[in-house]
Structure formats: C-alpha cells, structure tokens
Structure 1
Amino acid sequence: MTTEMKKIGAAGDVLVERRGSAGLITLNRPKALNALSLPMVRELLGILRAWRDDPEVRVVAIRGTNKIGRPGTPDSLFGGFCAGGDIRFFHQAALAGDAALDDFFTEEYTLNHLVQTYPKPYIAFMDGVVMGGGMGISQGARVRIVTERTKMAMPETNIGLFPDVGGGYFLSRCPGHVGEYLALTGETIGADEAIGYGLADVKLEAAALPVLWDELGATPWGSAAEADQWIASKFIADSARPASVTGQIDAYFSLLRVKHIVDALEKSEDRWARRTAATLRKRSPLMLHVVLEQIRKARGMSLADDLRMERDMVYQCFHLRPGAESETVEGIRALAVDKDYKPQWKPARIEDVKPGMADAFFTSPWSAQTHPLRDL
C-alpha cells in the first residue's frame, strides 16, 4: 500500500514516504543541490530514529531530487544526491557568532553515526553529486548504489576545511593511501573508482533506479532480516569489487609530510603527478597539514572516536581564528560568497606552514564528560 509523500519541515526540504514495509526519504532542496541545512539534519535524525524503533519498517532508502521538473514526476527523481552541508550558512553563522553553527556540526555528526550504525538495511541511491555531507549520510549504508552520473568527492580543502562527517574514518579505510589522496586533493571520482576504492558497492544504470525504488516499496518483507537476504541476493552476490590499482597514488601519498608529497609530485615528469601537485598548491596549505594528520590518526580509531576528533577539529576551524580570520570562513568567502576564487590563505604557501601549526586543531575544548558527542 502506498502512502502519500509527506513533506517534513516548513520548506518541504525532506520528503518522507511509507510504502509497505519500506521507509523512503527524498532530499528535496534541488536548487541547492540538496545541501543539508540544520532543519534538514534534524528532520533526518527524527525520522531515522522513529523508523529504527518502528517494527513495521524493515528497510530504509534515501535519494535526492535534481533541478529539473517537480517532485513526484519521473524527470525530477534521482540525478542529484547531496552536495554537502550548507556552506553559506556556515559563513553567515561564523561571522555572526551564531550558536546554531555548533549545533549543526554536533547534530550532523550524530546523524552520521546513526547512519553508520543503523540496525536495519539502509540503501543510499548515490546518483549525481555526492560530496561532503552527502557522503556522511551514505557511506554507512548497507548498499551504496552509484551510477554513470555519480560525481563523488570530499572537496573540503578547497574551502579551508577538512573532510568531516566521518571522512577520517571512511577515507582512511580506502586501499593503500587513496584516503590521503582523496582528502588532500578533493579530487572528484566516478562510479568505477568509487567501487574500486571501497566507497560504493554496486553500479546501476541511472534509468534503472525508479524501478528499484518502487520495488523496495512493493516487496512484502516479514522482517529486516528478510530484507537483508533480498539485498544480498540482488546486489552483493553480483558486485565483485574490482582490484584497484593504487601504486601511483601510494608512491606519493605515503610520504611523511605534505612538503615531501608536493616536492615529489613536482619533480616527476608524469603528467598526472604534475597536475596533482598543481591542485594541492591551490588548497589551503594549513588545512593540507591538518588533513594529512587527520587521515593518519583516524586509521587507528573507531568511528565514534573519529567523529569526536572531527567535532574538536571543526570547532577549532571556526574558533581558533574567529570570524573573518578563520581559514574556513575565508575559503567559503572566496568560493561561494564573493566568488573571486582567490582565497587569502594564511599561511599562503605550503613551505610557510611551521611544524606544530596543525596540532592546535586536534586540541579538544571539552573534557571527555562534557564533549557534545560523548554519548556516541
């Protein structure tokens, strides 16, 4: 039985539908590429907790709309998953000293942990753009579906931030030193690379997604275990992961320091290496050092400990140098507000980052007992 799609929140940015024993979520902020606002994070937390505790819900799936057509019509379904968090909000809130900025990250990371530990099958339809916060609500899925349109990245160093939402955890678990490469460069990858790097499970034609979505709502499962068996037979058995060749990446991104990585890339005659070095030269030099440390620390951490570390880090991104002095505020200004694409990074060059500068980002402003994510 199909129930009417229900708009959650004043803006209708999250659409929720119960079909049979399936709970279906549609991110519905297409003009912003479904970027997550604080109300959207709260709505997702509320519905996922409710469905977790509802014995009638056996499986949950999430998708995004695109900028064409209107919700509920075939031309608007899929095509865009989620481009991340609402960075314009980050900029405004940081300059205004708005406490909602801290609330956003605490609640978003709580949502990321919930998705990663969800006890019922959770399927992410990662069609179109999947970046930043979009990775945070999909990487923990039981099945991560990508298509020929998937554009996946953790591009935070481009705005003076770091790959958060559990990025330390899931990137550090990519094969070889792919995690360092993706985190430092913010490089965009497609479906095949995503599967090879362990960031997706199965590639489907985008045209097949609406039928699969409808099948989720039409299949009568008696339990979540039955839904898991259906998933295993439909996806897992046929999704042999191709071996990813990471030798070229490992040769550079296994090196000890950012300067070593960039020097080696720039000395190479290889076109890919030179291009990669040029990309790194555009990123925040300070945050490159922070991010390299993040990925390597996270490799030995649990998910909860990584999220707590990232909560400390994001606090420091906005409070270590407050207001317009923040590296992150400056990065967002240049990319998304003034759009002059000329961030004034401090320090300006990789060579100017002094030893120990990154350490302050890993200092927690809270004790273990007062940490906002102490209950994860």
Structure 2
Amino acid sequence: MTDTETADEVLVSAEGGVGRIRLNRPKAIHALTTGMCETMSAALLRWRTDDNVQCVVIDHAVGRGFCAGGDVVMLARSGAGDAAEARDFFFAEYRLNHLLFTYDKPTVAIMDGITMGGGVGISQPCTYRVATENTRLAMPETGIGLFPDVGGGWYLSRLPGRVGQFMALTGARLDGAECAYLGLATHYVPSGSLEDLVERIAKAPDRVQGALGAASESAPEPRIAASAPQISRLFASDSLEEVIAALEADGGDWAEKELGTLRGKSPLSCKVSLRLLAEGAGRDTFADEMRAEYALAANVVRTHDFKEGVRALLIDKDNRPSWEPPAPEAVTGEMLDTLFAPLPASEQWTPFPETQK
C-alpha cells in the first residue's frame, strides 16, 4: 500500500503497513495548531479500519525537537472575549489525545528532543514511547499561567512518589534516562539509531516490539533517582503553602534551588495544578479526565495570569510576569471552585464517536 499526503505542517503517509505522522513546523519546534490536531486525527481515524495499516509511528520531520506543545501565543490572544478559538483548539487537541489513548493498533512516539506540553499529550497515550539522549520532557505550564493539561492530571498523578506534583509545580525538564526510569518512556534508543529503528518497523510492522527491543540500549543512570526521597518528602502536600514551607524549612541546596524556581511560577496555576492532580488520581476513565480538563482550560485561558505569562515568557520575553494574585495565600478556594466548575452539558467536551465503546 502506498498512499502519501503532504500538508505544510503535518506529513501523513501510509506505506508497507506503517502509518507515519511527522510533525513539520520546525520554526515553532512543531507546536500544535488546531489544524495539525485535526489532520492527525483524520489520519488515525482512517487507519483504524484500514487492514493494510498495522501500526503507526509519530515523530518530527526536521528540526531540534519532537513537539514544544500547543501554540499558546495564539491561545493567549484568543483568550480575550469568548475564547472561542482557544476552545476549538482544546477540543480538537483533547480528541486527538483520547483517540491515541484508546487506539486499537500499536502506536510508537519518538520523543527525540524537546517534548513539552502538547508533545507530552501526543506521546504518552502511545503504546510505545521512545526516548533518546536528546529528550527533554516537561510540563512547564505553571510558568505561563496555565496547568499541565493534555492528560497531565491523569499521567502525572500516577507517577511514583510525588514526582508528578514536583513536575507540575516546577516544570522540571527530564532527560531520556529519567523518562525511562519513571515509565514515561518504554524504550531508550540512541538518536543515531532512530532511522534504523523506523526501517526495522517498516520491514516488519507486525513485530513492532521486536524492532524496538533490537534498537534499544540501557539508559544511563537517572539523575532524578537521587532526588526522589527529597521530592517525596518536600512535595508531599497538596497544599502549595505547605510545600513552600517544607522547602523553606529544609534549607538545603536542592530545596533552595527548587524554592527559587517555584517562586517564579503563577500561584494560581500552581494551586490549580495540585488540585487537578489530586482529582485526576481518582478518575475512572481518560475521557473523564479530558472532559474535566477541557472545562478547566476554557476558564483558565481567560485569566490574567495566562495572558500575562505568555506575554512575559513568549511574546515580550522579559521574563517578568506580574501574577494576580501575587501570593499563594491570596488564591482562595472560591477562585479555584470557579475555574473548576463544569461547563453546561451543551458545551462539554466529547470524544470521537468512534472511540466510545
């Protein structure tokens, strides 16, 4: 089977039993747009019932990263008014995330380079997740007034210890070895072997696991392992104030470094993130997670902190956001309740009908 379609920002092809999705927006480190999400979903839906496609490989075509996330500058600009454009993006992105999570055929995400935000959202649902020495995986949303969405409430809350809460609050970047250690990657493959890996999969698409095993190597010692006890102890609470107090009381170099990082984040976003993970840990289905995150995202993109965070870090790049409220204790439970309020039934997120069983 040979059927190739080329769009500017996503390269889609199917040949020899392998569906290929290649992100192709290198100047933006392949940041996702609504159109890109819709293009990927259309291909995946088509291949679900195509017996000639036995597995799917998702990677990037050129450039220095897998996917830097969603196009948050667009989201911030559309967050004014009714935020309709932002809602459209989240709706399409979360449908793609859920489609991958429920996909019946083997999927392989090659997380070579920067894998952040939306890049985590399209890699973590995949059957196999390949990390390399170039992988830098993070959920840095609290730095721009957002929260770890695209299933962050599901994935991060299920990591060992309190690593997920640590990642959500600080935006810590994990390398490939750390991803393998935590289960965020299923395989560790040197970047120089990726082309050979894809060729192996193409030759035997019905034996993807064997190809991955042949290409994989033992990952280096994960640096985060040494910090795991401190993370579990100092990030143990779901109260932001208590986490800060624990870091202050510790006084060690590691605690001081993370405290400094945390003080630069949006207090509102940090509290939103902790509550999201606490609730996400108890959700029964990924669809429930996506539904809750969509309602939350629809509200958060209209906040001061989201627009201010994107301005400071991505537009003006002065790295001096002015958060409102400026201190954790000023973020009230009532503020959080407003953001977490469910949408009316007619406005709620829904998965593709094909993924509902």
Q: TM-score, normalised by structure 2?
A: 0.91
Map 1:100-119 to 2 at 5 A. 100-119=85-104
Unaligned runs of 5+ in 2: none
- Go from structure 1 to structure 2 and tell me whether the alpha carbon gap of 1:340 and 1:229 turns closer, same or farther (over 3 Å shift): closer
> Residues 117-174 of structure 1, C-alpha deviation per residue, up to 9 Å, x if partnerless?
1110000000000000000000011110000010110000000000000011011111
In structure 1, distance between residues paired with 2:83 and 2:145: 20
Give SS of 2:58's match: strand
Give SS of 2:318's match: coil
* Between 85-94 and 353-362, the greater mean CA deviation after superposition: 353-362
2:282 match = 300
1:362 is the counterpart of 2:340: yes
Q: What's the offset of the Cα at 1:232?
A: 7.5
Q: What's the offset of the Cα at 1:228?
A: 5.3
Contact 1:121 1:227 in 2 (8 A): no
In structure 1, distance between residues paired with 2:158 and 2:76: 31
- Go from structure 1 to structure 2 and tell me whether the alpha carbon gap of 1:267 and 1:346 turns closer, same or farther (over 3 Å shift): same
1:254 is the counterpart of 2:236: yes
Unaligned runs of 5+ in 1: 68-78
Q: What stretches of structure 1 move > 6 A for 4+ residues in a row?
A: 235-239
- Go from structure 1 to structure 2 and tell me whether the alpha carbon gap of 1:269 and 1:46 turns closer, same or farther (over 3 Å shift): same
1:328 match = 306
1:372 match = 349
Q: What's the offset of the Cα at 1:97?
A: 4.3
Map 1:138-153 to 2 at 5 A. 138-153=123-138
- Go from structure 1 to structure 2 and tell me whether the alpha carbon gap of 1:237 and 1:191 turns closer, same or farther (over 3 Å shift): closer
2:73 match = 88
1:53 match = 49
1:177 match = 162
In structure 2, distance between residues paired with 1:317 and 1:280: 19
In structure 2, distance between residues paired with 1:120 and 1:237: 25
Q: What's the offset of the Cα at 1:256?
A: 3.9
1:316 match = 299
Contact 1:147 1:203 in 2 (8 A): yes
CA-based RMSD: 2.4
Contact 1:162 1:291 in 2 (8 A): yes
Which of the numbers 230, 248, 251 marks the counterpart of 2:210? 230
In structure 1, distance between residues paired with 2:249 and 2:83: 45
1:209 match = 194
Give SS of 1:60's match: strand
Map 1:8-87 to 2 at 5 A. 8=7, 12-67=8-63, 79-87=64-72
1:275 is the counterpart of 2:257: yes
Q: What's the offset of the Cα at 1:340?
A: 1.7
1:121 match = 106
Map 1:189-200 to 2 at 5 A. 189-200=174-185
